[in-house]
A and B are shown apart, each in its own frame.
Chain A
Amino acid sequence: MINHYLEKAWVQYFCLAAVTALLVYYFGWVFDFGYKFDWTVLYVKDASYGIVLGDMLITGLGNTITISLISSVIALGLGVLFGLGRLSQFKPINYFASCYVEFFRNTPLLIQLFFWYFALPMALPEELRYKLFDYNYEMISATVGLGVYTSAFMAEVIRAGIQSIPKGLLEAAYSSGLTPFQALSKIVLPLAFRAIIPPLGSEFLNNMKNSSLAMVVGVAELCWASQQIESLTFKGFEATTAATVVYLSLSLIIAGILNLVNLKLQIIPKKNRTIGHVLADVFFWPFIAPLALLSMLSRNCFRRRTEGFSLTSAQAARKVLLAKVVKVFSLAWKGTFLAFLLFLIVMAGVGLSRFNFQVIWDNIGTMIYWRFPQGGPNEVLWGLGGLSFSILMSVIAISVSFFIGLIVGVGRTSKNKLFFIPSTLYIELIRGNPLIMVIFWIYFFIPILTGAFLNVFWSATIALTVFTGAYLAEIVRSGIQNIPPGQLEAAVSTGLTYLQAMRKIILPQALKQMLPAIVGQFIAIFKDSSLAFVIGVLELTFVAQGLNNRLMIYPFEIYTTVAALYFICCYMMSIVARRLERKLSTDTFRLQM
């Protein structure tokens, strides 16, 4: 009886509305927050500081947008370069590109930003350093650092997209006489483009959210501004809410643009076109029209075939000469590249040999387990900290969030609005915000709601869990949607209920496919645990900073060790992920250019 009613859409909407109304009533009128809300701090001129504090948010937003845009361009350029580099047949380029991608993907952005800002200038000669400092170095290092970090991810997306092209196509292209460049530009890229664009788009979104970390090197962006208002007025709730709303709207705008791009890329018969397709056409007209014009012009200019099939001896000789010149040039270029690589290796070697290894040796224990087991009574787990703390946090977060992801992911695919709407809300709310914002929220909110006080370790772990849950839910959703719908229909027609069909038929298959993505998410969460340092969790980054603070003159030694520690852990996990992927996928051809 109840089930019958629950299947009706109006009942579902009614239930949702009722629950929302109850919540609003409870938190609006009944619940005592023990906190005086004062939204005026955002738009009224503050008496003690003489400025409208909300203006800071607007300046911050401007900085966030600038950083995101410029770093996206850098990331795209480097990403294409290194993505193609990973497909190169020339081994040194291949190795170099692989090292670049693996290194930057497997260390936390936070550590990388510290490196660009605090360590790199010290390695430069003094004159160059001061010349660099004449510019806005905070902004430059944050933008470049972010661009380089995102480029490693984009390179992977581009590599995977190009490798998704069937081998036969490339063979056909080569055998019809196209050069590698022609095969790439005329056959592979146009096709790979469609496979690349959607994941590339989400990298742009991530890039925007990651720009919030620029605050650690003193850039006054949005997150910095909200923290500034918080510390000037102690109105953390209001400032964080304002920043969250701005981040959400930014994410929504980017997601909207990405949707338009997807619509634009769809190949669909004219009569099936929706209003969205028309909108996409209109939106992208300014970008596409000049390109179309250019290609038309070039087609008209270069249409003449310059070569016949029969060559005179002079033409043949010229052709041979040309081929030789090309060969010499390519050899010269390879030589230069090798020399450059050698130079890098020697430089790194010289840098390493100047390290004070005694300092690293003395403090490696501190970095791995802090002062376990001699901690004070107020510390969790007998004073554990450092690397093992980071690992512990991410293990707890991934285990708990797996179940959240499972439930919410299934809810997201459900037709019942009672499950669908809350799941979607949760996923989009969390994914539209940077992790650092989620950490601040959990940190402020849990004590107010529950009246219980959590150790910062737990509050950071909960934030990581809630954050990862949303991403895992999306993984679960796409895993479920990858299973052919006929399976569910067949299962339901044999008399299983929806939940039974999910549990016994769909999920076991979907989970197997999801495993590599889940391991990938685990790597991400492990790296992200470095963000917990903002609320003072004694994890690896925080411990490293504390050490650096005390030792003062060994920043290179400490940050290199920390980066190496993070890298080793992440890289081992990514090897596991790759093994899993290879085991579970059937098509294991490696496309080469």
Chain B
Amino acid sequence: MKRLVTLALAASLVMAFAASAFAGATYDKVMKDKVVRTGIMTDSIPGAFYNEKKEWVGFDVDIAAAIAKKLGVKLDKVPVSNKTRIGFLQQGRIDMSVSNMTHKRSRDESIDFSITYFFDGQKMLAPKGKFSSLKDFVGKRVATMQGTTSELNVIAALKKLGDPAPKVISFQKESECFQALQMGRVDAWSTDSTILLGYAAQIPGKFELVGDFFSNEPYGIGLPQDDSKWRDAVNFAIQDMWVDGTYQKIYDKWYGPDTKYYFPMTEKIELWP
């Protein structure tokens, strides 16, 4: 018995050592190379997208740039999609992923997250004047994107309102959802409200957001699993951005009252004294 305990202790010691040898690897590498490789989406308006001049811009791009600046390193932008962002992090292809990722417990088993840097919630986008509340969507067809939390949320929300088998159609891309909505194949499109705002603003006056938020979508920056030193560095950078006003500036640039995507800020990010 005693021997077993010793063995287990030794094993756990070795594990701990291995883990500690691994922890901090990303931080040291970033600081040594002076480059942070960051995964960013390419087709999420206004999060990150190519504008008319084919420049890669958006809220997430600016946030990533600000974090890199706080860390004193260069930003290396790597295009990711909702299919690739997790894999890239796990493989070490990128050091962080600023790509409107909702922080979920089940996702936390595979990667780590920073503190929440953006508060979004899920809503429905529908043709103007047709629907007034969430209840009206019972029995209607709703578009979502495959592989997102919004897909599960909308099914759960409709079930709760008494729809026994919600007609949810999952597409691969946001643009496809919007196209399906435009041609009337679906009665609404449901995802995070900022994305909906971004698309609705392209054709002003035709679509509107309907009903209340039916889920919270706290966005976190995806980080490699079990690397607390790196996680701390990113968290501190975000908090510093909030304190010195950089965050507010970026927020106003993309979601402020004068923009096409006006989205009032309702919460504050977590600050540690």
Contact = CB atoms under 8 A, between A and B. Distances in A.
Q: Do A and B bind each other?
A: yes
Interface of A: 34-35, 46-49, 118, 121-122, 129-130, 133, 137-138, 215-218, 220, 224, 227-228, 230-234, 236, 366, 370-371, 374, 376-378, 443-444, 447-448, 453, 456, 534-536, 545-546, 548-550, 552-553, 555
B50 to A, nearest CB: 6
A546 B41 CA distance: 12
B239 interface: no
A453 B93 contact: yes
21 contacts: A34-B91, A35-B90, A46-B106, A48-B105, A137-B185, A218-B176, A227-B83, A228-B147, A231-B82, A231-B146, A236-B87, A378-B79, A447-B91, A447-B93, A453-B92, A456-B79, A534-B172, A536-B42, A536-B79, A536-B83, A549-B175
Contacts of B83: 227, 230-231, 534-536
Nearest to B93: A453
B164 to A, nearest CB: 16
B147 A546 contact: no
Contacts of B109: 234
Contacts of A378: 76-79
A523 B102 CA distance: 41
B84 A536 contact: yes
A133 B185 contact: yes
Contacts of B199: 552
A444 B180 CA distance: 31
Contacts of A377: 76
B255 interface: no
A552 B50 contact: no
Contact of A536 (B80, B90, B143): B80
B104 A48 contact: yes
A534 B84 CA distance: 10
Contacts of A233: 106
B82 to A, nearest CB: 7
A126 B176 CA distance: 20
Nearest to B170: A218
A452 to B, nearest CB: 10
B171 interface: yes
B42 A218 contact: no
Nearest to A141: B185
A232 B147 contact: yes
A216 B172 contact: yes
Which 6 pairs show the lowest CB-CB distances between chains A and B?
Answer: A231-B147, A549-B175, A234-B110, A48-B106, A453-B93, A218-B169
A553 B173 contact: no
B183 interface: yes
B201 to A, nearest CB: 10
B107 A552 contact: no
Interface string B82-104: 11101110111100000000001
A580 to B, nearest CB: 38
Given A378-B76, A545-B173, A366 B146 contact: no
Contact of B43 (A46, A370, A549): A549
Given A35-B90, A234-B86, A236-B87, A228 B173 contact: no
Contacts of A227: 83, 146-147
B89 to A, nearest CB: 10
Contacts of B50: 546, 550
Given A46-B106, A534-B83, A550-B45, 17 more contacts: A48-B104, A118-B179, A118-B180, A121-B183, A133-B185, A216-B176, A217-B171, A227-B83, A227-B147, A228-B170, A230-B83, A230-B147, A231-B82, A376-B77, A377-B76, A536-B79, A550-B49
Contacts of A118: 176, 179-180, 183
B162 interface: no
Contacts of A217: 171
Nearest to A47: B106
Interface in B95-149: 104-107, 109-111, 143, 146-148
Nearest to B174: A549
Nearest to B107: A234
Nearest to B110: A234
Contacts of B179: 118, 548, 555
B165 interface: no
A129 B91 CA distance: 46
A149 B73 CA distance: 51
Contacts of B202: 552
Contacts of A447: 87, 91, 93
Nearest to B167: A136
B72 interface: no
A85 B189 CA distance: 44
B59 interface: no
B185 A121 contact: yes
A84 to B, nearest CB: 36
Contacts of B110: 234
In this complex, the member of B54, B56, B82 whose beta carbon has the largest number of chain A beta carbons within 10 angstroms is B54
B183 A220 contact: no
A82 B217 CA distance: 53
B5 interface: no
B257 interface: no
A453 B87 CA distance: 11
A56 to B, nearest CB: 11
A48 B153 CA distance: 12
Contacts of A129: 183-184
Contacts of B180: 118, 218
Contacts of A46: 106
Contact of B183 (A122, A231, A232): A122
In this complex, the member of B83, B107, B109, B152 whose beta carbon has the largest number of chain A beta carbons within 10 angstroms is B83
Contacts of B92: 453
A253 to B, nearest CB: 28
Nearest to A549: B175
Nearest to B144: A218
B169 A232 contact: no
B203 interface: yes
A1 B196 CA distance: 73
Contacts of B84: 443, 456, 535-536
B144 to A, nearest CB: 9
Contacts of B259: none
A111 to B, nearest CB: 14
A374 B56 CA distance: 12
